[in-house]
Amino acid sequence: MSEANPGGYARAATEAIRRHPEVRAAVTAATHTFDSHRVEAWSEIDPDRWRDWARDVKQHVLTHLDRYLEEAETRLARRGAHVHWAENDAEAVDLLARITARHGVKRVVKAKSMLTEELGVNASLEARGIHVRETDLGEYIIQLLGQPPSHIVGPAIHLSVDDCRRLFNERFGTPLDATPDALAATAREALRADFLAADLGISGGNFLTADTGTLALIENEGNIRLSTSAPRIHVAFVGIEKLLPRLTDLSCFLQLTSRNATGQAIGNYVSLITGPRRPGEPDGPEELHVILVDNGRTRVLADDTAWEALRCVRCGSCLNICPVYRQTGGHPYGYTYSGPIGAILAPGLLGLEEAMPLPFASSLCGACADVCPVRIPIPDLLLYWRERAVEAGLVPAVERAGMKAYATAATHPALFAAAGASLRYLPWEMGGRALPVLGQWSGERAPPEFSATSFRALWREGIE
């Protein structure tokens, strides 16, 4: 699988903010733009009703997932698709390896897919000597740089146009003042050769409708349509939570996802794929493989609280509104999914211990819950994982001791008043070594300004 390292979050985030202010600037600007587009797109609909409905549909499909998965499998097979089931990342890449081996695949083009990032598909293909080309412009750029995506929708969100100009200048000799359009044209030309030479195209899937066995893919660049129709084989990796009951459900979900992700009423291209090329059809792949991936999802589904995160449609709007994410972009999270949704998916999909401290990488401001198109109660789920982390002994001993002492004081008013009076005498200015936990305040902020007299004392004296 791809290398997950959430444990490095605190250090990586700190370093990103201190050493790469340009990343913070790029991410802050881009996420505000994304979010303002969402606000505009929401103004054209009744977002509360749409979100209620989308939540209910997802909730329904997740509570009857066994039935809908079987239905989807039957429909897909009837249309001539090969359906595979992968319990984990190893099985998923192994299924792909068998397909590439059987067909002697040498070159692969890829549509943007976060699931394939989660599974480590590129690394597994490259390890077998297969050439992989990402064809989404943002993905292409970060592939050239050897970086993972830093945002669910905008994988190169951490880069400025100048970063891209320098990269393209080195790789393709384009001028350092090239326009974004000129850079895109250069990438398009380079990618065309890859599309024509590819034996196999890989995609993810935004939705899979059970009643028709239709895979729905949203995009803006046309590269997904090309990746899934030009090569003779198409392999789609689809998380089992991506099911929708009916084709007609797409009318809401395609729009809501697009409106939340980019502020568009709908993506420039929507591909609805129902089976491989049929006799008499001019194009499309000869073979379609749909790999339905679990990779921890049924474990999350079995959790009475955490399962709500599986409604996620990967629109990225919770990242765009998140003031914590905006400080660093996605890389410090050390996981495919970053921002608020990453912080609640990681404990479920990776396991809580490996996901630490991501559930704590939030000020609980609640902005994410207000924009989520499927109303995932993200702050509640962050609190849930924090509670589990405390239960599992995954927080520092000093914090645990401090919190227990605090609770004891707070349930004994005289003790609390005495302890409160002593706070001002703590060595605030000496930092974390002299004052564990609380001392971290002072490295970045002036010490708290305590009132000369506490309110309880003012009250006793009488307030005029």
Partner 1 sequence: MAPRVALFATCLGDRLFADACADAVRLLRHLGVTVDFPSAQTCCGQPAHNAGFVAEARRMARHTLGVFADAEYVVLPSGSCAGMLRHTFPGLLHGTDAQRARALAERTFELSQFMVQVLGVTEVGHGLRGRRVAYHHGCHALRSLRVHDEPLALLRGAGAEVLPWRADEECCGFGGMFSVKLPVVSAGMADRKLDTLPAADVVTSADGGCLMQLSGRARHRGDATSFRHLASLLWEAAS
Question: Which of the ranges 40-48, 179-187, 292-300, 455-463 carries the binding residues for partner 1, by CB under 8 A?
Answer: 455-463
Angle (nearest 5°) at CA 368 between 385 and 35: 150
DSSP-derived letter for residue 447 is P
Measured between its terminal Cα atoms, the distance across the chain in Å is 67
From the list 145, 193, 390, 401, which residue makes contact with partner 1 (rule: CB under 8 A)?
390
Q: Which is nearer to partner 1, 85 or 450 (CB)?
A: 450
> Restricting to residues 15-44, which ones interact with partner 1 according to CB under 8 A?
17-18, 24, 28
From the list 115, 367, 372, 376, which residue makes contact with partner 1 (rule: CB under 8 A)?
367
Question: Which of the ranges 69-77, 255-263, 309-317, 454-462 carries the binding residues for partner 1, by CB under 8 A?
Answer: 454-462
From the list 186, 357, 377, 426, which residue makes contact with partner 1 (rule: CB under 8 A)?
357
From the list 69, 137, 156, 389, which residue makes contact with partner 1 (rule: CB under 8 A)?
389
Q: Which is nearer to partner 1, 18 or 281 (CB)?
A: 18
Residue written as tokens 């939570």?
241
| Cα–Cα dist 247/387, whole Å | 39
From the list 186, 360, 377, 426, which residue makes contact with partner 1 (rule: CB under 8 A)?
360
Alpha-carbon Rg of the chain, whole angstroms? 25
| Cα–Cα dist 297/301, whole Å | 6
- Quick note: the x/- pattern for partner 1 over 398-417, rule CB under 8 A, is -xx--xx-xx-xxx-x--x-
Q: Which is nearer to partner 1, 267 or 329 (CB)?
A: 329
Collapsing DSSP to helix, strand or coil, 434 comes out as helix
User: Please, which residues bridge with residue 239 across strands?
Assistant: 293
- Smallest distance, Å, CB 307 to partner 1? 18
Question: 293 and 239 in contact (C-beta within 8 Å)?
Answer: yes
> Which residue, 194, 256, 251, is CA-closest to 226?
194
The number of beta carbons lying within 10 Å of the beta carbon of residue 155 is: 25
From the list 77, 99, 197, 365, which residue makes contact with partner 1 (rule: CB under 8 A)?
365
Question: Which of the ranges 133-141, 172-180, 206-214, 451-459 carries the binding residues for partner 1, by CB under 8 A?
Answer: 451-459
Tokens for 85, please give them.
């089931």
- Smallest distance, Å, CB 53 to partner 1? 22
Question: Which of the ranges 37-45, 136-144, 235-243, 363-371 carries the binding residues for partner 1, by CB under 8 A?
Answer: 363-371
| Cα–Cα dist 205/81, whole Å | 15
- Smallest distance, Å, CB 372 to partner 1? 13
- Smallest distance, Å, CB 23 to partner 1? 11
> Restricting to residues 314-333, which ones interact with partner 1 according to CB under 8 A?
323-324, 326-328
Question: 306 and 248 in contact (C-beta within 8 Å)?
Answer: no
Question: 317 and 358 in contact (C-beta within 8 Å)?
Answer: no
- Asked whether position 445 contacts partner 1 by CB under 8 A, the answer is yes
> E-assigned strands of 254-386?
269-273, 287-293
Residues contacting partner 1: total by CB under 8 A: 70
User: Please, which residues bridge with residue 270 across strands?
Assistant: 218
| Cα–Cα dist 23/361, whole Å | 18
| Cα–Cα dist 362/435, whole Å | 23
- Smallest distance, Å, CB 210 to partner 1? 34
- Smallest distance, Å, CB 248 to partner 1? 33
- Asked whether position 185 contacts partner 1 by CB under 8 A, the answer is no
Tell me the angle at which helices 21-42 and 9-19 cross, rounded to the nearest 10 degrees: 100
- Asked whether position 459 contacts partner 1 by CB under 8 A, the answer is yes
Which positions lie near partner 1, rule CB under 8 A? 10, 13-14, 17-18, 24, 28, 323-324, 326-328, 357, 359-367, 369-370, 383, 385-390, 395, 399-400, 403-404, 406-407, 409-411, 413, 416, 420, 423-424, 437-441, 443-459, 463-464
